[in-house]
Structure 1
Amino acid sequence: MKYTKLPGTDIDVSKICLGTMTWGKQNTEADGHEQMDYALNQGINFFDTAELYAIPIEKETQGETEKIIGTWFKKTGNRDKIILASKIAGPASQNRHFIREEGFTKKAFDNAIHGSLKRLQTDYIDLYQLHWPDRKANFFGRRGYTHTQENARWEDNIHEILHVLQNYIKEGKIRHIGLSNDVPWSTMRYVEEAKYNKLPKISTVQNPYNLLNRTYEIGMAEVSIRENVGLLPYSPLAFGRLTNKSIEKKGIEKARLTLFPFMARYNSENSLKATKMYYDLAKENGMSLATMALSFINTQPFVASNIIGATTMEQLKENISSIHIELNEEILQKINEIHELIPNPAP
């Protein structure tokens, strides 16, 4: 395994992070425990979860993923071996969940943090992230920002959010903070607010990033590099689209893109065209599409740790093994040529 510093901290994290969002829905508690055992044995020390999980969102399964991690901590005593990341859900109007209606109020943080700590059976969370902005700034399937009347009424609460989180850091319940599904404007607002008011600085942003969606490179990559705010890319395999089985039609009846059509952007005509071109490139160079797609992300200078997820142990092993593959300049050039032909078909 390779390791890097969690940006702005002295914490070493594995370059591969274990994602957990299927546990409690597609995966059982036993599955989750097996994945954590294997990941830790392979040198992965970084796990990511959220109070919102499992995904797809259902009232009956929200919080189940954190509970599965908590029972593993209790069973194994491995809490001190893991850098643990979790998230507070943004307002329900943004993410259609069943947890609470409001956005990032002090009451919401109190409820979310204490709820996560209880389910996770731990006293602290190493990286605590805001799952969505509490204004309508970012949506799956859209490339741009639309200034609505609702957005115009939104009052900047970033100073207040950082102040609340600072108190939790002082109490030792969280150590560091990050964003998720966020955009350049508010990322810089958090950075500047922390800089000029002696408030906690964000360490990371967790956004989608894969061969079919490289929109992070447009505005956020420079922010990441210049402000030392690392990307934690999720959906690095585009919800399973960037795998051999999606092209070869093997076992796709159980694939997430088949079971859960809300990720339809990965099924667009251009997404399918681009995926076939990436598949052919990987095959020409003797590797699976998943391995090539993950290896591309692992080498990006603004990536802190690559969040992989799997529903089977076979997938997990393949995904983790990508850390050992280095793409040469010729392959990288051909990847970029495909990207120029069909840029960001699945934002």
Structure 2
Amino acid sequence: MKYTQLGRTGLKVSRLVLGTMNFGPQTDEADSHTIMDAALDAGVNFFDTANVYGWGANKGRTEEIIGNWFAKGGDRRERTVLATKVYGNMGADGETPWPNSDKLSAVNIRRAVDASLKRLRTDHIDLYQFHHVDRNTPFEEIWQAIDVLIQQGKILYVGSSNFPGYKIAQANELAARRAGTIGLVSEQCLYNLAERRAEMEVIPAAQEYGLGVIPWSPLNGGLLGGVLKKEATGGRRASGRAADALADPASRAQIQAYEDLLDKHGLEPGEAALAWLLTRPGVTGPIVGPRTADQLASALRAVELELSAELLSGLDEIFPGPGPAPEAFAW
């Protein structure tokens, strides 16, 4: 496994991030523990989750699965850089949400941290991430709450997720005015070969303020994972948004060109899509969310892939990025 520092911090993390969103809803606890053990044995030390994972009536279940894994001992917690998130409503589905049970008020942040720590069966969270922008809570209040939690030793670093570039700038400019506040050190954003809008402003802002970029959905919902090849050979067919995209002739032709290019180079589409992200400026590591140990093994191979200049050029032709702002929309 290869490692890098998380943004401007001294924290060393693996170039792949183990995403745990499937743990609970799609992968049972025993198999989830097997995947986490395999990831740790392979050198993946960066695990990502969120308080709402488990979804619906099972919100928090994913954190519980991770907490039970930590409780097995064997230095599992000590060897893991643990990231979770706050924002979503943790109240029971179907009921009127109780005030202050979501978003980024100081009240909810304090309560959410304590609840996550209990489910995760640990005394601290290494990277606490804001899952979304809260337009109604000023960053002065957010940073005040975070400062207290850092002083208490409950969290060490803070990151954002799904933030636009201007919010990254706003958050860190306000943090800079507060003595001792480190500010955001990472941004978790939607970024992959087929979805490159983050290159316009989010990634440049992250680089300017020293944030590590953690792409989610690196295979674009499965579209970049060899979906047409699997379809042709009787494998798992595309569903949901991926199926909708393939119903569009232009999108289908684009994915076919992508798979043909990688076939020419003798590469697996999913592994190449991850390897491409690892070549991108500012990227710490993409989040991979394996449902099985075999999917994890495939993701691990991506770290060792070297993509040729010819292949990278071909990928840019198929999936041209927007380019940085303001040139992307001006002159």
TM-score with structure 1 setting the length? 0.84
Task: Name the structure 1 match of 2:149.
Answer: 168
Is contact 2:101–2:108 with CA below 8 Å preserved after alignment?
A: no
Deviation at 1:239, TM superposition (A): 1.8
Determine the C-alpha separation between the residues in 1 that align with 2:230 and 2:322: 21
Residue of structure 2 aligned with 1:272, choices 252, 258, 262: 252
Determine the C-alpha separation between the residues in 1 that align with 2:102 and 2:317: 44
Aligned residue type for 1:239: G
Deviation at 1:101, TM superposition (A): 5.0
Task: Name the structure 1 match of 2:198.
Answer: 216
Deviation at 1:266, TM superposition (A): 4.8
Task: Name the structure 1 match of 2:208.
Answer: 226
Task: Name the structure 1 match of 2:64.
Answer: 67
Task: Name the structure 2 match of 1:26.
Answer: 26
**More deviation, 268-277/324-333:** 268-277
Trace 1:39-188 onto structure 2 (pairs within 5 A): 39-54=39-54, 57-58=55-56, 60-77=57-74, 78-90=76-88, 101-135=101-135, 154=136, 157-188=138-169
Is contact 2:222–2:242 with CA below 8 Å preserved after alignment?
A: no
Is contact 1:233–1:305 with CA below 8 Å preserved after alignment?
A: yes
Deviation at 1:308, TM superposition (A): 0.8
| Contiguous gaps of at least 5 residues in structure 1 | 136-153
Asked whether 1:335 is paired with 2:315, we answer yes
Indicate how the Cα distance of structure 1 residues 299 and 245 shifts in structure 2: closer, same or farther if over 3 A, else same.
same
Task: Name the structure 1 match of 2:236.
Answer: 252
Task: Name the structure 2 match of 1:286.
Answer: 266
Aligned residue type for 1:79: R
Is contact 1:204–1:230 with CA below 8 Å preserved after alignment?
A: yes
Determine the C-alpha separation between the residues in 2 that align with 1:166 and 1:52: 23
Q: What is the percentage of aligned positions where both structures have the same residue?
A: 35
Q: Secondary structure at the match of 1:221?
A: helix
Is contact 2:130–2:160 with CA below 8 Å preserved after alignment?
A: yes
Task: Name the structure 2 match of 1:205.
Answer: 187
Task: Name the structure 2 match of 1:139.
Answer: none
Task: Name the structure 2 match of 1:151.
Answer: none
Determine the C-alpha separation between the residues in 2 that align with 1:243 and 1:173: 38
Residue of structure 1 aligned with 2:301, choices 318, 321, 334: 321
Task: Name the structure 2 match of 1:192.
Answer: 173
Deviation at 1:263, TM superposition (A): 6.9
Determine the C-alpha separation between the residues in 1 that align with 2:167 and 2:174: 10
Q: Secondary structure at the match of 1:103?
A: coil
Is contact 2:196–2:321 with CA below 8 Å preserved after alignment?
A: no
Determine the C-alpha separation between the residues in 1 that align with 2:310 and 2:254: 18
RMSD: 2.4
Deviation at 1:245, TM superposition (A): 3.9
Task: Name the structure 2 match of 1:310.
Answer: 290
User: What are the Cα deviations for residues 226-277 of structure 1, in whole angstroms up to 9, with x where unaligned?
Assistant: 2211111011011222112444314325xxx52xx36777556244332222
Aligned residue type for 1:282: L
TM-score with structure 2 setting the length? 0.88
Aligned residue type for 1:164: A
Deviation at 1:185, TM superposition (A): 1.1
Task: Name the structure 2 match of 1:141.
Answer: none
Task: Name the structure 1 match of 2:218.
Answer: 236
User: What are the Cα deviations for residues 306-343 of structure 1, in whole angstroms up to 9, with x where unaligned?
Assistant: 11111121111101110000111111111111123999
Determine the C-alpha separation between the residues in 2 that align with 1:102 and 1:245: 36
Indicate how the Cα distance of structure 1 residues 105 and 127 shifts in structure 2: closer, same or farther if over 3 A, else same.
same
Aligned length: 314
Is contact 1:21–1:49 with CA below 8 Å preserved after alignment?
A: yes
Is contact 1:90–1:104 with CA below 8 Å preserved after alignment?
A: no
Q: Secondary structure at the match of 1:84?
A: strand
Determine the C-alpha separation between the residues in 1 that align with 2:65 and 2:228: 29
Q: Secondary structure at the match of 1:311?
A: coil
Deviation at 1:91, TM superposition (A): 5.9
Determine the C-alpha separation between the residues in 1 that align with 2:70 and 2:321: 47
| Contiguous gaps of at least 5 residues in structure 2 | 324-331
Deviation at 1:82, TM superposition (A): 0.4
Determine the C-alpha separation between the residues in 2 that align with 1:266 and 1:64: 31
Is contact 2:132–2:162 with CA below 8 Å preserved after alignment?
A: yes
Task: Name the structure 2 match of 1:6.
Answer: 6
- Greater helix percent: which structure? 1
Indicate how the Cα distance of structure 1 residues 263 and 204 shifts in structure 2: closer, same or farther if over 3 A, else same.
farther
